[in-house]
Amino acid sequence: MVKKRYIIIVIWCILLIFISFKIKTNKINEDISKEISIKSEDGTLYGTLELPKEKEKYPVILIISGSGPTDRNGNSNIINGKNDSLKLLSEALKHKNIATLRYDKRKIGKSKGFSKKEEEIRFDDFIKDAILWIEKLKKDDRFTSVSVLGHSEGSTIGMITARKAKVDSYISLCGPGRSLDKILLEQYSKDPKNYKEVKYIINKLNEGNLVKNVSKELLMAFRPSVQPFLISQMKYKPAKEISKLDVPVLIISGSKDLQVSVTDGKLLKKASSLGEYKVIKNMNHVLKKVYDIETNKKSYCDPTIPLADELVEKISEFIKK
């Protein structure tokens, strides 16, 4: 009887330890990944704060997503599927004891509730929003340093934000080295059917004029309501902007990037006196490890394809210098 009671007590002790551990683990997991928000002048922005550990200090990186309707995780609603590139990057950096904040830009994902209409939005609005996030992060005592990482279009937003908000370092990830008009002309040069019209539209936009009549094939990229935004973005020259930074800079290109070439990375490096440049072998535009054109295309809508080798290690090494 005594032996039986002893066994029951032991079992209860084990159960209590397990329950206690489970509660603690859930609490840690809850603290590690937090949904946070911040009010902008005409709406609320939402993001995910990834924290490595409880009650410790660590560096933090603000991650700014790429062009178009790309959300905090690196996914676009234009593509049927998701790649989770920025989510995977955030989670990998967390395991390197680096905190990250990635967010849905205005009118995208959960940050849809903005009063400005599409035709009223300008490129500077995205810069102002990013600065608000930086100001929030700077007030948090847990962070030993605050850096900015911009992917694709977010690279240009990021370098301007980095200068205006006075961050500790800046990372350009698959970012253009040329202005938007030049990038678009290069991309559409491979589309002879629409190239002439694209060239006409871009010339008009550079003059500050809107084009009302746009062919059906080009409406997604050049619809009249988005043209004022394009005009506001075209005035920025990334190579010129990055030359203004006086903090450590890391520029990363992917050897398999079909959207922003290694040439752009080289232009940024040439313009930045403080820039360190790295081409990551077999990395494409959505940061995935690919070897052929088929896998490259598939990776845009397949979250199971891993991030490219060296990416996380290189960023971690740079931030911890």
Distance in angstroms (rounded) separating the CA atoms of residues 229 and 155: 17
Domain layout of the chain by residue ranges: 34-179+236-319
Query: What pLDDT is stored for residue 53 in this prediction?
Result: 79
Q: H or E element: which one contains 83?
A: none
Query: What pLDDT is stored for residue 54 in this prediction?
Result: 66
List the CATH code of the domain at 34-179+236-319. 3.40.50.1820
Here the tokens at position 136 are 């929030």
Q: Give me the DSSP letters along 45-68.
A: EEEEEE-SSTT--EEEEEEE--SS
| Helix segments in 33-152, DSSP class H | 85-94, 123-138
Whether the CB-CB separation of 262 and 279 falls below 8 Å is answered with yes
pTM of the model: 0.88
User: Mean pLDDT per 10-residue run, the chain (321 residues)?
Assistant: 48 45 40 89 96 86 94 90 96 96 96 93 97 98 97 98 98 97 94 96 97 95 96 97 97 96 96 96 97 95 96 98 87
Query: What pLDDT is stored for residue 321 in this prediction?
Result: 87
